[in-house]
């Protein structure tokens, strides 16, 4: 199976996926890394691994759907079977989601359905939860809402800052994201309503 990874930033989850593919843990190929940010370090990680990259500037497109159509055109050329969002800071249009329904994964740094949005770690810390952690889920039409594939618990310490907590969440992300991708590629993920069953 060919995978495309969409990134906007540093690309630590991309790196974890690259390593998992390289070792054969994920039996698939990363066919393309797409970014909406030409300065994203994720692009350097991809190039260092010999993976083809594509940079598209959202400002070059009149509406979100036009940008997404250009991404999809490039994914189709590569016969991509799974789209992986790894720190991609754009909402996908309904058009994109319909094209790849149940074939788009995202990772969120909180235990969904709690603390949706871009401040997941900060919100969890401010709320005073004792446990948080990352969630891998399918992307649907609503923000941080699709069926949950895997989650991992991270204890919140009394002296945690946003940075220290995020660091430990990242460690778990780098374990469960490759694991979720592996399960999907191996055909072991089945969606029944809101529930994801793993065989």
Q: Residue 33 forms beta bridges with which residues?
A: 5, 53
Is the bond leading into 113 cis (omega within 30 degrees of zero)? yes
Is-catalytic flag, 174?
no
What is the Cα gyration radius of the chain?
16
Inter-axis angle of helices 12-22 and 41-48, nearest 10: 10
- Helix, strand, coil % in the chain, rounded to nearest 5: 35, 25, 40
DSSP class of residue 92 equals: P
Report yes or no: 134 and 120 within 8 Å, Cβ to Cβ.
no
Active-site choice (108, 137, 170, 174): 108
Is residue 197 classed as helix, strand or coil in its secondary structure?
A: strand
H helix runs in the chain, sequence order: 12-22, 41-48, 64-77, 94-99, 120-127, 162-185
Q: Residue 196 forms beta bridges with which residues?
A: 191
Is residue 139 classed as helix, strand or coil in its secondary structure?
A: coil
State how far the Cα of 40 lies from the Cα of 7, in Å rounded to an integer.
Answer: 8
Residues annotated catalytic, as ranges: 108
């Amino acid at each position: 199976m060919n995978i495309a990874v969409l990134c906007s930033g540093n690309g630590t989850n991309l790196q974890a996926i690259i390593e998992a593919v390289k070792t054969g843990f994920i039996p698939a190929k990363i066919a393309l890394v797409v970014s909406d940010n030409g300065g994203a370090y994720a692009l350097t990680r991809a190039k260092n691994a010999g993976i083809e990259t594509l940079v598209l500037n959202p400002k070059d497109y009149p509406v979100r759907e036009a940008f997404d159509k250009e991404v999809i055109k490039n994914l189709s050329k590569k016969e991509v079977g799974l789209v992986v969002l790894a720190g991609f800071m754009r909402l996908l249009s309904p058009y994109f989601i319909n094209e790849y329904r149940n074939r788009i994964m995202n990772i969120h740094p909180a235990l969904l359905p709690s603390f949706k949005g871009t401040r997941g770690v900060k919100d969890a810390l401010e709320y005073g939860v004792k446990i948080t952690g990352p969630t891998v889920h399918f992307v649907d039409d609503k923000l941080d809402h699709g069926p949950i594939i895997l989650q991992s618990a991270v204890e919140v310490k009394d002296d945690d800052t946003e940075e220290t907590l995020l660091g430990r969440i990242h460690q778990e992300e780098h374990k469960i994201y490759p694991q979720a991708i592996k399960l999907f590629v191996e055909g072991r993920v089945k969606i029944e309503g809101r529930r994801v069953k793993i065989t």
